[in-house]
Amino acid sequence: DQVGEWSLALDPRGGSARGKSARRSQRERVDVFRSAVDEGRAAAIREPGVHLTVTDVLIKAVAVALREYPRLNAFAECDRMTLKHQINIGVATAVGGDTSSASGDKAPHTAQAAPSDGLLVPVIAQADCKSVVEISARSRDVTAAARRGVVAPNVASTFTISSLGKFGICQFLPIINPPECAILGVGSIEPRAMPIQGGLGVREMMTLTLACDHRAVDGAYAAGFLNSVKDRLQNLDGILPDKERR
């Protein structure tokens, strides 16, 4: 259904004896993320009324990193893996219950997890081709629609992001949304002690956890993707146009 797709044979040794896919968790902490996001917000916002969230910047970083690691932007079914031409980022969204924003931003008070009517995954289609401001506007629209129980039926996500940061969850292992190959779990941004220039300091950090189908990728490939996302978040590489970073 997408131009430019191509298929690869999956290695059945990556799954269990019954042919089920094996899941592998890779984790990477993102350092000084808050300062990078604040810099990006100041540089990218050129018009009143635009508010970038951590999730907006994260969607762009993930989309650009998926260009480097296309095996994670794929569907795994039976013995075949289909690499997707378009990079469509899904954002897991609770339906009903608490309808506040599901971003990774740190709030003054931790939100309470109200009962919901399940999850929907609104999609930011071709996120790698959109600016972070365009992603922000589109994300608000599709997330609000999802909370009303409406998602576009003709656009399928190729990679999903799930955030529990607003509930004070530091890290978690999300469940892959089949037939996708991977999903990224986003924890809360919080102050953590760490070595800084030979001493001890406090930095605002977050933990990203990648769950992936081990038939499609190995641990080294998954770790490379996480490192690419981390570098882009901290350096804003590929997230903002050069003229916006001055």
Catalytic residues: 214
Burial 74-112 (b: 16+ CB within 10 A, else e): bbbeeeebbbbebbbbbbbbbbeebeebbbbbbeeeeee
Closest CA to 206 of 70, 78, 55: 55
What does the DSSP 8-state code read for residue 32?
T
**How far, rounded to the nearest angstrom, does the alpha carbon of residue 129 sit from its chain's CA centroid?**
16
Quick one: which H or E segment has residue 227?
Answer: helix 219-235
Closest CA to 91 of 158, 43, 188, 15: 158
Please list, in sequence order, all residues whose beta carbon lies within 8 angstroms of the beta carbon of residue 188, skipping any fewer than 6 positions away.
104, 106, 164, 165, 166, 167, 168, 169, 170, 206
**Residue 125 structure tokens:** 């289609």
d(CA 75, CA 220): 19
Residues facing 115 on adjacent strands? none
